[in-house]
Amino acid sequence: MKRVTLPPGIKDYSTDIVKKIDYINEIFFTETENWGYQKVLTPILENLDSLIHDSKDNSSSNILKMVDPLNGNILGIRSDVTQQILRYVISNFNLDNLPVKLSYSERVIRNNLTEKSNVREVFQIGCESIGTNGQIDDIETIQLASTLLKKIGFPKQVITLSSSYIVNFVLLQLPNCRENIKDLFSKKDFSSIKNLVKDKAIPTKERVFINKVVISLLQNKIPKNFLLNRNVKKEIDKIINLRNQLSKINKDVNFVVDLLDVKDFDYYSDITFEINVPQINVSLVKGGRYNNIFENYGVSIPAIGFALNIMPVVNSIKIDDLPKPAALVLINKKLSLSDLFVVRDFLSSQGFFVELSEKNHKNKKFQLIIKISTNKEIIIYDGEMRKILKFKSLKDFIEDEI
């Protein structure tokens, strides 16, 4: 049989993977609805200009593009959902309708392969709180992300707080080594950053700034004897206060500050955060505040949001760990199909995954195995075929609690 290949970085997903994705989505939407978020769906492709932040946005190179044969417009397959949420809000809400909280579960395609990942398709769930501003809203958003991970099964977390405002301020002071030092920030290569102080190819003013400001910020210290932008000092105080408040509210989570943390997207305006767990070596949640992004549409609207990358979570969950129990109903050919499906439907209504079969599949794990006799007696066994209960009739079985 001829093998059919897929594009680089794209693959199929097995039933087991899909079950895990559905499990995560169920927890996600149940929880976000309780926090006041409304679920939305956005199109897989749009006109290119609605998918990029502005004309200078380098992220456009990460978008897979095509020409629409209907009108010749340049289309893009989304590489991020935040831009689509913005377009959705501008198209469907008046400023008087804000704030609005939206949740989504989408797949995005990124037009690159990196050393860290050979995957181009990302399963992403996320929340966007549009029209909200202030410390309480920042805390609530971070708390929601933390709560979701706990409910999925990751109680031990490290939440890193930072600010794109501080990073952008620092980079503006270093025009001659901006890209180099930004890359070093991303890699957390502190020794190479310190070595830049001795690099004579960098202007003296910039080397002094690195020595007196950057190195202090890398150590989460406010630089002494050096004039900092007043707004930068205010932003540092805001992050530290945010960490202190969150530590009191969420005492079982470790909150840390990284004043020079570089994010993947340049639309963040100030507070940013990410969440890591010990079992997984990549950040599961990334988010932050993007108060300036709506200016591209001619309005000023504060906003904050986050996205959770599903696949690292999926890869760490075992099917046996999923909480939904499974029941096997052994088929008795002498029994009417209507009675058989009465039992099946009842078990399903009680939260069981139900399989009908003429024999026990020992390679599958069932919490309950049910036998129905010709006279409609029902015997319930555990997964090792040890008898648990016996009912004289279907009525007795259905009226009892499983």
How many Å is the Cα radius of gyration of the chain?
27
| Contact call for residues 304 and 141 (beta carbons, < 8 A) | yes
User: How far apart are the C-alpha atoms of 201 and 196, rounded to whole Å?
Assistant: 9
Pairwise pLDDT comparison (266 vs 199), residue with the higher score: 199
**Residues whose CB is less than 8 angstroms from the CB of residue 323 and which lie 6 or more positions away in sequence, other chains included:** none
Residue 268: partners with Cβ closer than 8 Å, 6 or more residues away: 164, 288, 289, 290
Confidence band for 59, pLDDT divided at 50, 70 and 90:
low
Which segments of the chain belong to CATH 3.40.50?
A: 324-399
Angle, nearest 10°, between helix axes 230-249 and 164-172?
150
CB distance 294 to 199 below 8 Å: no
pLDDT of residue 57: 47
Q: Which residue has the tokens 């897979």?
A: 64
CA distance linking residue 19 with residue 17, whole number of Å: 5
Which residue, 331, 332, 281, is CA-closest to 309? 281
pLDDT of residue 402: 52
50 and 60 Cβ atoms separated by less than 8 Å: no
Mean pLDDT of 337-353: 84
Give the Cα separation of 47 and 84 in Å (integer). Answer: 11
**What does the pLDDT average to over 293-308?**
90
1-155+277-319 is classed in which CATH architecture?
2-Layer Sandwich (3.30)
Q: What is the mean pLDDT of residues 246-274?
A: 89
pLDDT band for position 117 (cuts 50, 70, 90)? low
Q: 3-state class of 286 per DSSP?
A: strand
Q: Where in the chain is the domain with CATH 3.30.930.10?
A: 1-155+277-319
Q: What is the mean pLDDT of residues 189-205?
A: 87
Range 330-345 average pLDDT: 83
Mean pLDDT of the chain: 87
CATH classification (class only), 324-399: alpha beta
What confidence score (pLDDT) does residue 55 get? 42
Cβ contacts of 298 within 8 Å, gap of 6 or more: none
- pLDDT confidence of residue 62: 79
- Mean pLDDT (whole number) for 27-53: 90
- Sorting pLDDT into bands at 50, 70 and 90, what band is 32? very high
* pLDDT-based confidence at residue 113 (cuts at 50, 70, 90): low
Residue 262 has a pLDDT of: 83
